[in-house]
Amino acid sequence: MEQPFGVLAELTYACPLHCGYCSNPVEMERYRNELTTEEWQRVFAEAADLGVLQLHLSGGEPMLRKDITELVGTAHDLGMYTNLITSGLGFNRRRAEALREAGLDHVQLSIQADEQTLSDKIAGTTSFERKQEVAELVQELDWPMTLNVVLHRQNIDRIGGILEMAHRMGADRVELANTQYYGWAGLNRSQLMPTREQLAEAETVVREAKERLGTSMEIIYVIPDYYSSYPKPCMDGWARRQFTIIPTGEALPCPTAHEVIRGHGLDPVTVREHSLQWIWESSPVFNLFRGTDWMPEPCSSCPRKEIDFGGCRCQAFALTGDAARTDPVCHLSPDHELVTGAVEAANDPTRPQPGELIPRPNPGRRS
């Protein structure tokens, strides 16, 4: 068993944005009883003892935690590389300077589009101009900056403008990630899935931008699972290299495994009841799909089984109701028609233009 190198700490599911592509769980009221400052600090110390080197602070919106600077300082003192994943709202000069002093290493800023009307519509709130200001502040304070763009049917045609804007904003790295259909994105899949034509054009634009910009800005482009022949190695394999702690202290092998665990009749494992070492090494949840022994055919005899690890367990569960089945994205899966059917629907020339997305609500906080 390898030791984990990264932890995603989802500090809160509260968020000022209402993005319809959000992967946070739909039943958000269940996750309001957040870990305290002291509980998170203990978790960080246990993570460092496990060998974790990278700590990603996310949500929701982590800047809604009043103790964010204190938490960053704790992680910094433990020797972990800290990355703040933020919408930019709540990231003012005073708090930014405090985070810099506390030792924050990196800022990852989400953007929705390259023009205000569309960006604010997707975000569900006025935020476009604020993101520009935050990017300038990040540059001024000399942080490395990644811009994260979730691509979907409603913004993928703007990808050229998004990349130009990212370059003007001084981004070191841009992650162009096509939507994963979990949580709120799963509810909005029919409104979010792009067409083949959109993807082909987007890939051309990205390729040309990489050639034009060279090494001045790293561009990561991830095609959507539904258009792939093989699934991606989700999280480098279940509980293999990294894991997630959600606001209530539940430990997950990946950020969207909530329903998989309950669907398999397992009790959640929380840091309020168990040490991280026990959770990582011995918990039934983390050992459920670890390795390859659990795999059915065609995965168990496939030469790719230690490349993609059977694909995404959350996707298999969402589409088939059984997380132990081969990810239906794989063209060898007996359930592949579930994916091809969705793709055909997305490319139906008679389908209506995209309508309104179901907005992600803000559940508030209770700690």
pLDDT tens digits, residue range 130-159?
999 999 999 999 999 999 999 999 999 999
- The two tokens of residue 75 are 């992680």
- As given in the structure block, the two tokens for residue 336 are 């592949």
Pairing of strands 242-245, 251-252: antiparallel
19 in a labelled binding site: yes
With cut-offs at 50, 70 and 90, classify the pLDDT of residue 355. confident
Q: Is the pLDDT of residue 366 over 70?
A: no
- Full-prediction pTM beyond 0.85? yes
- Is 234 annotated to bind a ligand? Reply is no
Residue 298 phi, psi dihedral angles, 5° rounding: -85, 0
Q: What is the pLDDT of residue 139?
A: 96
CB-based burial of residue 322 (10 Å sphere; 0-12 exposed, 13-18 middle, 19+ buried)? middle
pLDDT confidence tier of residue 364, bands split at 50, 70 and 90: low
Q: For the segment 160-194, what is each residue's pLDDT rounded down to a tens digit?
A: 999 999 999 999 999 999 999 999 999 999 999 99
Categorize the per-residue pLDDT at 30 as very low, low, confident or very high, splitting at 50, 70 and 90: confident
Distance (Å, whole) CA 89 – CA 106: 17
The Cα 347–Cα 355 span in angstroms is: 15
For residues 7-16, average pLDDT:
96
Give 363's pLDDT tier (boundaries 50, 70, 90). Answer: confident
Q: Is 314 annotated as a binding residue?
A: no
Q: How far apart, in Å, are the Cα atoms of 168 and each of 155, 165, 213, 250?
A: 19, 5, 12, 39
Both structure tokens of 196: 């083949």
Please say if the pLDDT value at position 256 is more than 60.
yes
Confidence at 1, pLDDT banded by 50, 70, 90: low
Per-residue model confidence (pLDDT) at position 234: 83
Alpha-carbon distance of 264 to 350, in angstroms, equals: 39
Share the mean pLDDT of the chain: 94
CA distance 168 to 38: 40
* Domain architecture of the chain: domains with CATH: 6-227 (3.20.20.70)
